[in-house]
Amino acid sequence: MKRVVKKSVNEISRSWKKIDLILMIIYPVVVMAFSLLFKFHGFLWMILFYIPPSIYLSLKNRKYIKKAIIFSILLGVPFEIMFEYIGHKAGSWIILQTIFSFKIFGLVPLEAPIWGALTLYITIMFYEYFLNKHPTDRLKHPRFRYLIALVTILFTIFLFFYFVRNGEINIKYIYVIWGLSMVIIPLLLEVISYPKLIKKFVYIGLYFFYFSAIFELTSLKLGHWRWMGTDFVGWFTVFGDVKLPIDNLLAWWVFLAVAIVTYYEFFDDDQK
């Protein structure tokens, strides 16, 4: 009797998750249509795109909220500030719409670290709900302190060069350097050590390729930001007038979500 009840509960749970996944697929398209129709401002577009699905996943994963928030802020905010500053300084892109008059280090709009934290948060909550078969609600793993050390060291180095060079931090081909050092190498090491993670990485990569493509293409179409510069491997054009670097497609659309989960599994989960 207990087995029958347990089986029924599991079947109901799987059915609900299928519905939840369908909603997570439909929502980005719906909010994109409204944004293009009413020409939403960049900040409003970001909030509408990220916040409702994040809240929805939070309601489904209440016991992981605190863990995901801590990880997302710790990793997403400083990394996005550094990345955004270097990209702006190199003239690789420019954010054209911001609701804040203050900019971090004189260049980074406050929307950037907000976006960084939101991106990590929704990725982790999606992963925990749909893909992680061995979830743990432990607030932090013993290796978490190494993540804190890594972030502290990298941000300290950034601050050192920022103050010593009077803000002149020029790094060419930032996507290639960041992609290889912070994404590809850690990802390869993780899947070689724990090949069972490959399937989960593929699934989350597929969903967030779709998710990221909708967000960026809509933002570019509405003129929220613009790509510039020449320090890219190559370019491609979508819809006739939306131009993007290939580096961005690989680093953000293809590998960003997988990289987030790689760091999450290694520093704050059980790698199962």
The whole-number pLDDT of residue 261 equals 93
Distance CA 120, CA 116 (A): 6
Strand residue runs (E) in the chain: 93-95, 103-104, 108-109, 225-227, 235-238, 242-245
Q: Are 42 and 97 in contact (CB under 8 A)?
A: yes
Q: How many domains does the chain have?
A: 1
The whole-number pLDDT of residue 16 equals 86
Distance CA 268, CA 147 (A): 9
For the chain (272 residues), the mean pLDDT of every run of 10, in chain order, is: 47 79 98 97 97 97 92 95 92 92 94 97 96 68 88 95 90 83 84 89 96 96 91 87 87 90 84 65
Per the confidence metrics, is the pTM higher than 0.85? yes
User: How is residue 73 annotated by DSSP?
Assistant: H
Report phi then psi at 236, rounded to 5. Answer: -145, 155
The whole-number pLDDT of residue 76 equals 95
Up-side HSE of residue 121: CA atoms within 13 Å toward CB? 25
Up-side HSE of residue 11: CA atoms within 13 Å toward CB? 6
Distance CA 260, CA 254 (A): 12
For residue 228, the enclosing domain spans 2-268
The whole-number pLDDT of residue 258 equals 93
243 SS3 class: strand
Distance CA 81, CA 169 (A): 13
Distance CA 256, CA 184 (A): 10
Q: What is the pLDDT of residues 93-108, one digit of tens each?
A: 989 999 999 999 999 9
Distance CA 128, CA 137 (A): 10
Q: Nearest Cα to 60, choosing from 139, 135, 7, 140?
A: 135
The whole-number pLDDT of residue 9 equals 42
